[in-house]
Amino acid sequence: MTIPLSRPPVDDEMKQAVLAAMDARQYILGPNCREFETELARYTGTKHAVLTSSATAGLWMTFKALGVKPGDEVLVPAHTAFPTIEAICFAEGTPVFVDADDWYTMDPKDAAAKITSRTVGVVPVHLYGQPVDMNAVQALAEEHRLWLLEDCAQAQGAAWQGRRVGSMGRVGVYSFYPSKNLPVMGDGGCVVTNDDEVAARCRRLRDHGRLNKDLHAEVGFNLRFNELQAAAARVLLRRLDAMNDRRRAHAARYARGLEGLPLALPSERPHARHVYHLYVVATPRRDALAAFLKERGVQTGIHYPVPSHRQPAVERFAPPVLERTEKLVREILTLPISADHTEAEIDEVIGAVKEFFDRRV
C-alpha cells in the first residue's frame, strides 16, 4: 500500500456542510463565503478577508491594488512555487530574485543588497510552513518605505512571535489547495489585510471590476470563490490548530526517528511556530533515496527542483546566480506528512529511510 505525500481530509461533517450549501442554491459568494471571510479575518487577526479562486489570483489582485506598474521591482525569494513570480509578472512588475537563508526562506541580507530606486515592495514567502524572519524583513521594508506582502500559501496557522502570518505585512495571501494545511476540495485562496482600500479593490477585481451588478469601475476578472468550498473550509477552519498540532507531532516523530542519519532535517526558526505544510529533508543522495522509497511504496516530492529564477519564463529578467538556492534544490526531498497520516505511516517512512542508509554505508 502506498503512503501518499499528503492526505486531504474528507469526512461526514464536511459532506453534510457541502450538501446543505447545495440545498441553499446560492453558489457564488453567498452566506457561507461571507461567514468564512469573517471567520478567517478573526482567525488571522486582520480586519478584512477577501476570498478568491486561488492564491495566485489573490497575489495578482493585491499587486494591482498596491499599484504595481511596469518598471516596478518586487523583491521575492527564488526558492518558492512559481505562481508567486507569475503573479508579479501578470501585474507587470519585475521580480528581483533573492537567495535563501538557512531555513530555506528569504535571506533579508541578500534582499537588502538588491534594493534599487525602482524597488516598491517585498514578498516574503513562509515556505513549507516555516515563517520568515519577520523582524528583519519588516525592518527592511520600513527603512526603505516598501510595502510588504506576506505569501502565506503554505503556512495557514503559522505564527511569528505569537502573531499569525498574514497579519504583519500590509497584506497576506493564503491558498486552500487540497494539500494545504487548510484545504478545500479544489482551488481557492484569500487576501487578508487591515487596509480598507486594498480590500475594496480586491473585492472589485475578483468580480469583473464591479461597483454593482451593472457598473464596472475597472477591468477585473472572474476570480470568485464558491459556496460549496466555503462550507467545507468553514468546518476545517475550526480544526486548523488541532490539525497543525498533529502535523507538528508527526514532524517531532520524524526528528526523533531520523536523528543521527546523514540527513539534514528541518528545524524551527526561533520565535516561530512552524506548521509543517511539508516535511523537507536534504541529502546529496536525494535521487537515490527517492527511488528507494518509491520501491517501498512511499511517495516523495521535490519542492522545487527548478528554482524560480532558473525558469525559462523569466530569462528576460537576466536573473543572477543564487548559490545557496541552487545548491539546496539539488538535495531537498519532501517526505509524507499531513494531519490525516497515522503514526504507523510515519514510522514506516522512518524505517524505510533508515534501511536506505544502513544498506549504503
- pLDDT for position 360: 58
The b-or-e profile of 285-303 (16+ CB within 10 A means b, else e) is ebeebbebbeeeebbbbbb
- Average pLDDT (205-229) is 96
- pLDDT for position 339: 98
pLDDT in tens, 54-68: 999 999 999 999 999
Structural domains in the chain, sorted by start: 12-99+106-237 (3.40.640.10), 240-359 (3.90.1150.10)
Q: What is the 3-state secondary structure (H, E, C) of 45-66?
A: CCCEEEEECCHHHHHHHHHHHC
Whole-number Å distance between alpha carbons of 70 and 41: 31
All cell numbers assigned to 235:
468546518
Cell 516523495, residue located: 300
All cell numbers assigned to 3:
503512503
pLDDT in tens, 39-56: 999 999 999 999 999 999
- pLDDT for position 359: 85
**Total Cβ atoms within 10 A of residue 203:** 20
Whole-number Å distance between alpha carbons of 94 and 312: 15
Confidence of residue 1 (pLDDT cuts 50, 70, 90): confident
pLDDT in tens, 190-213: 999 999 999 999 999 999 999 999
Task: Give the three-state DSSP class for 269.
Answer: coil
Average pLDDT value over all residues in the chain? 97
Separation of CA 237 from chain center: 16
Please compute, for residue 51, the number of CA atoms within 13 A of its CA located in the half-sphere on the CB side.
Answer: 26
pLDDT in tens, 80-135: 999 999 999 999 999 999 999 999 999 999 999 999 999 999 999 999 999 999 99
- In terms of DSSP H, where are the helices of 196-342? 196-205, 227-237, 240-258, 286-295, 323-328
pLDDT in tens, 4-49: 999 999 999 999 999 999 999 999 999 999 999 999 999 999 999 9
Confidence of residue 358 (pLDDT cuts 50, 70, 90): very high
- Helices 55-65, 82-90: axis angle to 10 degrees equals 40
pLDDT in tens, 128-187: 999 999 999 999 999 999 999 999 999 999 999 999 999 999 999 999 999 999 999 999
